[in-house]
Amino acid sequence: MLAFTAARLLTTHGVIERPLLLVEQGRTVEISSRDSQPLSAASTRIDFGDALIAPGYVDLHIHGGFGHDVMGDAPETLPTIERFIARHGVTSYFPTTVSAPVDDILRALERLADAIEKCEEDCEKTSGNKRPVRTGRAAPLGIHLEGPFISHARCGVHRPENLLPPRLETFERFWEAARGRIRILTIAPELEGAIELIKTAAARAVCVSLGHSDADFPTAERAIAAGARHATHTFNAMRPLRHRDPGIVGAVLTDARVSADFIADGVHLDPSIIKLIADTKGPEQTVLITDAIAGTGMPDGRYRLGTLDVDVKGNLATSNGRLAGSVLTMDQAVRNLARFAEWDLQHAVAAATRNPARVARSTYKGVLAEGADADFVVLDNDGNVLRTFIGGVDCSA
């Protein structure tokens, strides 16, 4: 049994001072305070001094990192990305596709499904449980299908020739290729056939997320009534918010049934807009994503986003002059949210842990609780990641 101690620990219920976190076989066995629970002599203690223990970060929307794109077919692609994001506190993630020719999407979905199933097999051998707990690398929990069911008017850098109308038969092809591993679907609700597809996907427990959309307010509300419950990179690639035409952004901000994610890099959104979203959606429905591409963690240069060439210069990732994902890491996103929204670290961390896990219905991720996976990060008081543990094993190196 491993016993982790620190100055503080974040749970879904608040902060525990002088915590004692007991871990065995990759699971959290017990969480208590050292003031009420003495440390057993049979446990191996690992102490982090004045640091803070927080749940491992969950990224719902990530295209790549450290020179690799999740749609790539090289054997080292996902392992490289997973080791890189783990160093920035991400312990589980949802590899995100981009609009491409159908055959390219199908092949990518098959490869990603293979990776998810291999992760589960590794966990089963280790712990006898199919919940993804794999040491050393962030675990892929499911696939985020971003495109091709998006608006031509708000497609961003998605190539128009790769966009498709939302047809059930097309979605079925994707579903079969992914072997049911699609967990998040970004869709523009104003497209013909979208409402029917939203109902179908929601019935399969897919998180339907509104995005890349030119929908007006009533259309967005119909989509929410049909089962959509989240929004993809809010404000970006969306019909603008106007005072007599609130559009999809107005629906996302005001409808309590919807959570909202956004890219808190200070590039995609002005800090004042980040504060607006955070204040409007509150600490329960605010979600951080990175939308990171292959160029994240790399020097300036040209990288791939699906079939696109993207130029990275500083904090900007662009393709033909348009923003094309980000080079944001989740630890930086947490720090930015705390600063821009004037939130304490506890609430900012929740936007990268509990809230995205809840959106994806990943019960054992994003929380520190008895029976949950022992995925956690060790932070200093400013939110810098000192160590990352996945399944109770240090994977920071």
Q: Exposed/middle/buried for 98, CB within 10 Å: 0-12, 13-18, 19+?
A: buried
Return the DSSP state at 160. Answer: G
> Within a 13 Å sphere around the CA of 327, how many CA atoms are in the beta-carbon half?
21
Q: Which amino acid is at 91?
A: T
Question: Which residue in 193, 342, 201 sits closest to 274, CA to CA?
Answer: 342
The two three-digit tokens of residue 31, written as one number: 């969480």
Q: Is residue 260 within 8 Å of 234, Cβ to Cβ? A: yes
Q: Is residue 289 within 8 Å of 60, Cβ to Cβ? A: yes
Report the alpha-carbon distance of residue 383 to residue 69 in Å, rounded: 27
- CA distances, 310 to each of 230, 276, 319, 322 (Å): 27, 30, 5, 9
Q: Which of 59, 214, 291, 331 is catalytic?
A: 291
326, β-bridge pairs: 292
Active site includes 291? yes
Report the alpha-carbon distance of residue 231 to residue 224 in Å, rounded: 10
186, β-bridge pairs: 146, 209
Q: Annotated catalytic sites, by residue?
A: 291
